[in-house]
Amino acid sequence: MVQKSISIKQYNTFGINVYADLFAKFSSIDELHELLEFNQRSTFNDQRKTLILGGGSNILFTKNFEGLVLKNEIKGIKVIKEDEHHIYVQAGAGENWHQFVLYCIKNNWAGVENLSLIPGNIGASPMQNIGAYGVEIKDVFYSLEAYHIRDKKIVNFTLNDCEFGYRDSVFKKKFNNEFVITDVTFRLNRIPNFNISYGAIGQELEKMGAKDLSLQAVSQAVINIRSSKLPDPAVIGNAGSFFKNAEIQNSKFKSLKETFPGIVGYDLPNGNVKIAAGWLIEQCGWKGYRKGNAGCHVKQALVLVNYGHAKGSEIYDLSEEIIQSVKEKFGVGLEREVNII
Ligand code: FAD
Ligand code: EPU
């Protein structure tokens, strides 16, 4: 059913109250196809724009959406193939990511435990190659199916086709808004290859008194760390890290380190350094800052928050001020991670 002029406040974790001209949910490719056909025929608006929405946890609406918002609710999880070392599990784009992680852990399928408690749905996970605590979905990704909006056909993407990078893929850049991801297949491990090198996990496992490493213990450690510093969108509107960590040349990092000895950076295989944008933002005095209903989270400066009735434009303007001040103080340009609409 297509609804007209509907608030999408409940469909985005920032809790921004904007209106979509048209809104509908779909739970199969046939329904998606029909809705896209309808939108093409519709004379409700001239642009006939379409926006595919999952859990709305990586999106900032700065204005009403003059087009059709389609919420992906394609469900289903099934094992499609098994071999000596791996289980290939296909999940519908509308499945909740964290529920999928818990389902894998329950079945002793390893590989996604470090990605516990990331909000959103399966369908958006390849969009920005979600990552946390030393793991990205590219590490367990096998393939996906996506519906090409213009050509009206299903296309299969392998790992190489997706061109995954840090918070990046072909769907975010060159194929932006061209495809609707309908399902994703993950290659999970029978034998866990625990990744607890990310400092805080080891400490948290010790604090928990976990005697043996297990998928459950690692997942719980990640959940504990995340809950201690990231705001729960059910309590305070946000979309996780608003900015990406910045990649700079090693020479630039060294000279910054002379002036700012506390700067946090990690060496990358290409010789560059990834610097913690949260540290840069905190040093510029933004952590805990609040202007009206928009703010910078008190425990994590990378996360912008909506204290109540913020407009998307207020959050966006704050992000612009932050980018400028980081540029002035450190000469580093920050990129937004969140999709701005
Ligand atoms: P949405 O916000 O609905 O959509 C995001 C983008 O993908 C939009 O451009 C949308 O049009 C597009 N899209 C959605 N579904 C489809 C589809 N089926 N086909 C094509 N395009 C689609 N991210 C991380 O990587 N690591 C983290 O640790 C992390 N922590 C977070 C913590 C919090 C508290 C919050 C609120 C967010 C966090 N995020 C994190 C960001 C977010 O959870 C992920 O980006 C997630 O994958 C977004 O999923 P979603 O379904 O909510 O996507
Ligand atoms: N830091 C500060 N001040 C802050 C925030 C961070 O100094 O206000 C410093 C910390 O002390 C630490 C470093 O920055 O030394 C890194 O902080 P943290 O471990 O919290 O991770 P992050 O780099 O801020 C990234 C991801 C998160 C992901 C975590 C854990 C990005 C943009 N963000 O955050 O992903 O959960 O690592 O792996 O890469 C997201 O993408 O939405 C997201 C939450």
Give the start-to-end residue ranges of the domains of the chain: 3-72, 77-189, 237-340
131 touches ligand 1 (CB under 6 Å): yes
Tens digits of residue pLDDT in 145-186: 999 998 999 999 999 999 999 999 999 989 999 999 999 999
The minimum-distance atom of ligand 2 relative to the CA of 229 is: 20
How many Å apart are CA 308 and CA 61, to the nearest integer?
Answer: 15
Collapsing DSSP states into helix, strand and coil, what is residue 290?
A: strand
Q: Which of 51, 73, 118 to mutate to test the pocket of ligand 1 (most atoms within 8 A of CB)?
A: 118
* CATH dotted code for 77-189: 3.30.465.10
* CATH dotted code for 3-72: 3.30.43.10
pLDDT band at 38, cuts 50/70/90?
Answer: confident
How many Å apart are CA 338 and CA 322, to the nearest integer?
Answer: 15
* 337 pLDDT higher than 60: yes
Residues whose CB falls within 8 Å of the CB of residue 237, separated by 6 or more in sequence, listed in order? 13, 14, 15, 16, 305, 306, 307, 310
C-alpha of residue 302 to centroid of ligand 2, in Å: 7
The minimum-distance atom of ligand 2 relative to the CA of 58 is: 42
C-alpha of residue 218 to centroid of ligand 2, in Å: 18
Tens digits of residue pLDDT in 187-231: 999 999 999 988 789 999 999 998 889 999 999 999 999 999 999
Exposure pattern of 236-269 as b/e (b: 16+ CB <10 Å)?
bbbbbbbbbbbbbeeeebeebeeeeeebebeeee
The CA angle 244-250-251, to the nearest 5 degrees, is: 125
* 46 pLDDT higher than 70: no
Task: Give me the active site residues, please.
Answer: 167, 241, 337
C-alpha of residue 251 to centroid of ligand 1, in Å: 34
Q: What CATH architecture applies to the domain 237-340? A: Alpha-Beta Complex (3.90)
Q: Ligand 2: residues within 6 Å at CB?
A: 132-133, 240-241, 244-245, 264, 276, 278-279, 282, 287, 300-302, 337
